Structure formats: structure tokens, C-alpha cells
């Protein structure tokens, strides 16, 4: 990632993790600056979870790894003071009371601000004695947001956080996170399959495939580097000569090609150009014929 504004909060060089018959991380290297929102995106089994576990000090890996200036393999307890980890926000024990959830987080995270959490909840319909089984999905999202936003962590790690939620609640979660939690002192790392829903909040993106980081860039660079071309029928062979990284056919005989590093001014003579969506770019790179 091309950022000179701040020192990296996470640096990884040559990470490798192998199981009996599987290589989960294969010489993975990346650097994440402070004050960024990073999407770690890849298919199941690509190495996302292993990478997160390494950052959190939950699994041993080969290679160099520094998180907030410490090796998480040696200093996990210290690092957890500055890191918050959240998985699927739709999953909470159904018997748990709102008050008990607050008590639990207050007991396990030293940076939890109970007063801030309660101020957030005061603007909702949540009551301390309510159990999770009595809450709507939207209320569960509000509870999770209250807990997360009350933790003054430098790094927030979200692993498929909205997996069990409807689209309206997924959007609410990310929007509130962006508006009420994120600032230039915090770094957010999020993994998800729902690429389109986080694209607008990301400052940086990493694609991981077969344990390798195959794309590591800030979103501005992605927009400048990649171009999608709706090719004029009489320009197909000319466009193919420029070596697109992906090509797909649309209805009515139209063809769309994706180019890496080809000047947009050059492509504009061959058809209609536009910036690709992150989901389309992801599909092209995950085919395995590129990068």
C-alpha cells in the first residue's frame, strides 16, 4: 500500500503457514499504515483467516511479523490491549442479557469505556434486562456497535462481521462504524464475501489467493491502474492485442475487457471505458490466470 503519511501498524514479510497437505500462507508480505480501512478479500480457503490469526497472535507462522511494533507470537497479551476482534455480529448467545454482554466486555478488554457504551445504547430501544432472543437483528447490530465503539483500540479486526444479517442491517453496521468510530488514529481490517457493500468505505484492498497476496493497493491506485472497456464490435482484435487480463461476453453481442496499466486515453478509441467495480476485479484476479 502506497502511503507515506504514517508508519505501518502491521508489517509482514514472507509469512508461511503449512498444514499436513495444505499451504495456508505462501510467502505472504504486506504493510498496513495507521488510519486506513483495509479489505482483506479472498475465497474460502484462500488464507484470510490464517492471516488474521497470525496478526492476532493466535497461530504460529514462519516469517517476519510486526504489529504495533511487537511480534504477536511473543507479545499477544500486550497487543490485545490495543486490538479489538469481532466476528459475525448476528451471533450472540440467545440467553445473554444486554447488561451481561456489557459486563463481559468490560471484564475482558482494558480499553472498554462503559459510560460511552451506555450513552450509545441510550439512543436505542435496548434495555439492560433484555435477552438476545428478544432482540431483532437490527437491535443485535446496535448492541454490537455499542460494544465495539466503546473500545478505544488502535486496530479493529472484523472477520465476516455481517454474515448473518440482511442487507439493510449490513449497510447500517458499516455506515455507523465509519461515522461514529473510525478516525485517523485507528486502523480497521475487514474480511467479507460481500465485496460491493464495503467497497465505498475502503481506503485499501488486499486480494489473497492460495495463500498469496495477489493485489495490495490503495483504492485510488486501483481506480487509476485498472480500466474496463466495453469494446466496439469492429475493434475486438485491436483490443485483444493490448492483452486484457479478463474478457467476458454480454448480451446483444457486447464484449467487456479488463486492462491493467493500459492508458485510458488509448482504450477510449476502442469503445466505452469505465472504472471496474471491486467485485468484477476480484473475479478476474481470482480466476488464477492473472497475478
List C-alpha distances in Å: 49 to 32, 38, 70, 233: 17, 15, 20, 43
Please state, in angstroms and rounded to a whole number, the distance separating the CA atoms of residues 78 and 55.
13
Q: What is the pLDDT of residue 89?
A: 64
Q: What is the pLDDT of residue 131?
A: 96
**192 pLDDT band (50/70/90 cuts)?**
confident
For the segment 224-253, the average pLDDT, to the nearest whole number, is 92
Q: What is the pLDDT of residue 11?
A: 97
Among 209, 227, 224, 235, smallest CA distance to 288 is for: 209
Query: Which are the contacts of 156, defined by CB distance < 8 A and separation ≥ 6?
Result: 83, 84, 86, 148, 181, 186, 187, 188, 189
Residue 163 has pLDDT above 90, yes or no: no
Main-chain dihedrals φ then ψ at residue 229, nearest 5 degrees: -125, 120
Q: What is the pLDDT of residue 3?
A: 43
Write the secondary structure of the chain as one string of H (helix), E (strand) and C (coil): CCCCCCCEEEEEEEEEEECCCCEEEEEEEEEEECCCEEEEECCCCCCHHHHHHHHCCCCCCEEEEEECCECCCCCHHHHCCCEEEECCCCCCCCCCEHHHHHHHHHHHCCCECHHHHHHHHCCCCCCCCCEHHHCCHHHHHHHHHHHHHCECCCEEEEECCCCCCCHHHHHHHHHHHHHHCCCCCCEEEEECCCHHHHHHHCCEEEEEECCEEEEEEEHHHHHHHEEEEEECHHHHHHHHCCCCCEEEECHHHCEEEEEECCCHHHHCCCEEEECCCHHHHHHHHHCCCCC
pLDDT digits (tens, 9 = 90+) for 102-161: 999 999 888 999 999 999 999 889 999 999 999 988 888 889 889 988 999 999 999 888
For the segment 180-209, the average pLDDT, to the nearest whole number, is 90
Residue 279 burial by CB count (10 A; 0-12/13-18/19+): exposed, middle or buried? middle
Q: What is the pLDDT of residue 291?
A: 44
Q: What is the pLDDT of residue 148?
A: 87
Q: What is the pLDDT of residue 137?
A: 82
Phi-psi region of 234 (alpha: psi -120 to 50; beta: other; left: phi over 0): alpha
pLDDT digits (tens, 9 = 90+) for 47-100: 999 999 999 999 999 999 999 999 999 999 999 899 998 877 667 889 999 999
Predicted TM-score (pTM) of this structure: 0.87
Q: What is the pLDDT of residue 288?
A: 56
Residue 286 has pLDDT above 90, yes or no: no
Q: What is the mean pLDDT of the chain?
A: 90
pLDDT digits (tens, 9 = 90+) for 15-31: 999 988 889 999 999 99
Residue 191 burial by CB count (10 A; 0-12/13-18/19+): exposed, middle or buried? buried
Q: What is the pLDDT of residue 260?
A: 95
Residue matched to cell numbers 503457514? 17
Q: What is the pLDDT of residue 51?
A: 95
pLDDT digits (tens, 9 = 90+) for 209-237: 999 999 999 999 999 999 999 999 899 99
Q: What is the pLDDT of residue 17?
A: 96
Among 202, 159, 174, 198, smallest CA distance to 47 is for: 159
Instruction: Say if CB 162 and CB 194 are below 8 A apart.
Output: yes
- Output 56-59 pairs: Cβ under 8 A, ≥24 positions apart: 56/83, 56/85, 56/157, 59/17
Amino acid at each position: 500500500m502506497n502511503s507515506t503519511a504514517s508508519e505501518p501498524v502491521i508489517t509482514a514479510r514472507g509469512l508461511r503457514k503449512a498444514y499436513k497437505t495444505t499451504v495456508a500462507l505462501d510467502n505472504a508480505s504486506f504493510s498496513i499504515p495507521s488510519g486506513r480501512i483495509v479489505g482483506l478479500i479472498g475465497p474460502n480457503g484462500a488464507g484470510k483467516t490464517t492471516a488474521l490469526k497470525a496478526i492476532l497472535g493466535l497461530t504460529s507462522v514462519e516469517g517476519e511479523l510486526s504489529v504495533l511494533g511487537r511480534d504477536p507470537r511473543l507479545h499477544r497479551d500486550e497487543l490485545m490491549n490495543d486490538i479489538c476482534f469481532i466476528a459475525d455480529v448476528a451471533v450472540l448467545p440467545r440467553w445473554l442479557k444486554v447488561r451481561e454482554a456489557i459486563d463481559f466486555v468490560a471484564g475482558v478488554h482494558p480499553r472498554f469505556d462503559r459510560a460511552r457504551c451506555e450513552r450509545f445504547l441510550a439512543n436505542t430501544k435496548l434495555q439492560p434486562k433484555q435477552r438476545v432472543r428478544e432482540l431483532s437483528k437490527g437491535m443485535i447490530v446496535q448492541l454490537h456497535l455499542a460494544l465495539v465503539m466503546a473500545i478505544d483500540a488502535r486496530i479493529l479486526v472484523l472477520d465476516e462481521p455481517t454474515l448473518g444479517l440482511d442487507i439493510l442491517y449490513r449497510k447500517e453496521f458499516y455506515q455507523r462504524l465509519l461515522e461514529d468510530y473510525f478516525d485517523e488514529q485507528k486502523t480497521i481490517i475487514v474480511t467479507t464475501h460481500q465485496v460491493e457493500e464495503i467497497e465505498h468505505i475502503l481506503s485499501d484492498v488486499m486480494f489473497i489467493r492460495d495463500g498469496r497476496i495477489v493485489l495490495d493497493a490503495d483504492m485510488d491506485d486501483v481506480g487509476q491502474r485498472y480500466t474496463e472497456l466495453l469494446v466496439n464490435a469492429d475493434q475486438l482484435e485491436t483490443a485483444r492485442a493490448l492483452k486484457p487480463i479478463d474478457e467476458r461476453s454480454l448480451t446483444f453481442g457486447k464484449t467487456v475487457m479488463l486492462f491493467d496499466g493500459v492508458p485510458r486515453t488509448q482504450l477510449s478509441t476502442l469503445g466505452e471505458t469505465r472504472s471496474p467495480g471491486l467485485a468484477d476485479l476480484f473475479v478476474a484476479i481470482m480466476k488464477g490466470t492473472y497475478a
